[in-house]
Amino acid sequence: MEAYLDNSATTRCLESVKDIVVKTMMEDYGNPSSRHRKGVEAERYLKEARETIAATMKVSEKEIFFTSGGTESNNWALIGAALANRRAGNHIITSAIEHAAVIQPMMYLEKLGFCVTYLPVDGQGHVSLEDLKAALCQETILVSIMYVNNEMGAVEPIEEIGKIVKGYRPDILFHVDAIQAYGKYRIYPKRLGIDLLSVSGHKIHGPKGTGFLFVKEKTKIRPLILGGGQQRGMRSGTDNVPGIAGLGVAAGEAYQNFDKKVGHMYELKHRMSKGLCKLPEVTLNSDDGESSAPHIVSASFRGVRSEVLLHALEDRGIYVSSGSACSSNKKLPVSTVLKEIHLERELLETTLRFSFCEQTTVEEIDYCLEALGELLPVLRRYTRH
């Protein structure tokens, strides 16, 4: 048996996504910038995807711009907005537990002379609204807070943050990295005070290398990719028709039978959390309630290095993560997120992330828990001797 419990790293494409990708690669393969029929057919796929995505968030199709994924969307939102609004101020606010695709652009902006405030989080990974209020100042031009933390699933108080930011000064831009939230929550940017919102396709059963950035109308932002003037001059480059078409299908399906899907993921999460709590010397880092996302469980296994346990589970056909898939390749010694929540030092290198999707089964959860129950005593004896 196999158990794929690493859906926050990537998801399997839907059959409907695969079908439209193949069709647009093999049949309707025109360049949407071409003026002939093949080009018009290709342009229709872009239009349909844009309409589908816009409808899921109750925004205008003109506010959706396609990108190569979450990293590009975050980079464009932060660097493009900061540079476009520099005359208004040079202060930016974010949290200390953002994804590297936010933290590294922030570090780049600091080198350009911007001042960045990194808000701390509590033991559950939530930013303090009081800290946010204290950080806002007349120089603030941009606030960027993730909707769901990718490592431990903490859900940030986005609605309250939006109210605070816009209440302080309406022209401060509010960016949200929704890469782990889109498809798991109903997100309506205009109700939440969001000006910029980033989404990645492969987290919602779409193709890798796809994503979009919501840019609220009249938001001042500079393009980062210049060239042929595609997407109204805001994001040049030949449109990735197969990827965009697949992204549109995935986005539409993500919000079909939505409550049932999310309910199923919460059931899986409760089952996993309950099972982990029965195992000796296991610490849950994710809240089991609704202040944490339905699809992510983070746990630490005292006395067993995460890499050792990850590969022991892999040998049994169980696939999990030791943290963010994007940062694990860089051989970072310890997760910044776990440090920021002040996790006990002995547990920092013993943490795994289990992440689900609507296709994950109860049998996969039970198989993983059974394997952990068998492996942990053996691995701890080996480690301690």
Of the residues 199, 233, 254, the one at which a domain ends: 254
pLDDT of residue 383: 65
Instruction: Using DSSP bridges, classify how beta strands 173-177 and 196-200 pair: parallel, antiparallel or unpaired.
Output: parallel
User: CA 301, CA 276: separation in Å to the nearest integer?
Assistant: 10
**Structural domains of the chain, count:** 2
In terms of domains, do 122 and 239 share one?
Answer: yes
pLDDT of residue 158: 98
In terms of domains, do 28 and 39 share one?
Answer: yes
Kindly report the CATH number assigned to the domain that includes residue 75: 3.40.640.10
In terms of domains, do 181 and 317 share one?
Answer: no
In terms of domains, do 195 and 298 share one?
Answer: no
Of the residues 197, 230, 254, the one at which a domain ends: 254
- Rounded to 10 degrees, the C-alpha dihedral 83/181/164/129 comes to -110
Strand order across the 211-215 sheet: 64-67, 211-215, 196-200, 173-177, 140-144, 91-95, 115-119
The answer to whether 119 and 96 have CB atoms below 8 angstroms apart is yes
Residues annotated as catalytic are: 326
One digit per residue, the tens of pLDDT, for the chain of length 385 reads 999 999 999 999 999 999 999 999 999 999 999 999 999 999 999 999 999 999 999 999 999 999 999 999 999 999 999 999 999 999 999 999 999 999 999 999 999 999 999 999 999 999 999 999 999 999 999 999 999 999 999 999 999 999 999 999 999 999 999 999 999 999 999 999 999 999 999 999 999 999 999 999 999 999 999 999 999 999 999 999 999 999 999 999 999 999 999 999 999 999 999 999 999 999 999 988 888 999 999 999 999 999 999 999 999 999 999 865 554 454 545 789 999 998 999 999 999 999 999 999 999 999 999 999 999 999 998 765 4
User: CA 385, CA 381: separation in Å to the nearest integer?
Assistant: 6
In terms of domains, do 236 and 275 share one?
Answer: no
The tokens for 377 are 């005593």
Of the residues 254, 287, 315, the one at which a domain ends: 254
Task: Kindly report the backbone phi and psi dihedral angles of residue 207, in degrees, each rounded to the nearest multiple of 5, phi listed first.
Answer: -75, 150
Instruction: Using DSSP bridges, classify how beta strands 318-319 and 3-4 pair: parallel, antiparallel or unpaired.
Output: parallel
In terms of domains, do 31 and 160 share one?
Answer: yes
DSSP state of 128: P
In terms of domains, do 198 and 186 share one?
Answer: yes
In terms of domains, do 211 and 324 share one?
Answer: no
In terms of domains, do 73 and 184 share one?
Answer: yes
In terms of domains, do 64 and 210 share one?
Answer: yes
In terms of domains, do 132 and 205 share one?
Answer: yes
Using CA atoms, how far residue 289 sits from 39, 216, 273, 293, 351, in Å, is 49, 32, 10, 8, 20
Residue 323's domain comprises: 3-11+257-384
User: CA 178, CA 196: separation in Å to the nearest integer?
Assistant: 10
The tokens for 281 are 């010397």
In terms of domains, do 275 and 203 share one?
Answer: no
Kindly report the CATH number assigned to the domain that includes residue 380: 3.90.1150.10
Burial state string for 287-316 with b = 16 or more CB within 10 A and e = fewer than 16: bbeeebbbbbbbbbbebbebebbbebbeeb
